[in-house]
């Protein structure tokens, strides 16, 4: 079965990533205003990124992670770790599904 990537799929993935960014930002005591200043973007954009509503570039993601002392990495679908499993569950992509074409 061919996996079709829909706008909702991408928003779900962005939402999962954004929730982790928000969690870490708050953990470090950094306000949305301070993060916006670090990234040189408007404060409302921080909320959009963290809610999955903004289709940000990889450049923004890497900068965001840098300022939060986080890594961004790509894992294999069958890695079997908790974060990967969470991502796969949220994206409805199980190991036995075919790769998107």
- Per the domain annotation, does 99 fall within a domain? no
Specify the pTM.
0.71
100 domain residue, yes or no: no
Residue spans of the chain under pLDDT 70: 1-3, 74-81, 83-101
What integer pLDDT is reported at residue 43 of this predicted model? Answer: 96
* 101 located within any domain: no
Buried b or exposed e, range 65-93, using 16+ CB within 10 angstroms: bebbebeeeeeebeeeeeebeebbeebeb
Is 64 a domain residue? yes
Per the structure, the count of domains in the chain is 1
Q: For position 83, what pLDDT does the model report? A: 65
Residue 61 belongs to domain with CATH number: 1.10.260.40
Structural domain of residue 76, as residue ranges?
7-91
């Amino acid at each position: 079965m061919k996996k079709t990537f829909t706008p909702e799929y991408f928003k779900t993935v962005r939402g999962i990533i954004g929730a982790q960014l928000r969690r870490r930002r708050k953990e470090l005591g950094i306000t949305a205003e301070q993060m916006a200043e670090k990234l040189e973007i408007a404060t409302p954009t921080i909320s959009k990124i963290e809610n999955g509503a903004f289709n940000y570039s990889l450049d923004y993601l890497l900068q965001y992670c840098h300022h939060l002392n986080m890594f961004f990495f790509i894992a294999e679908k069958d890695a079997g770790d908790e974060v990967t499993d969470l991502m796969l569950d949220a994206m409805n992509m199980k190991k036995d599904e075919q790769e998107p074409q």
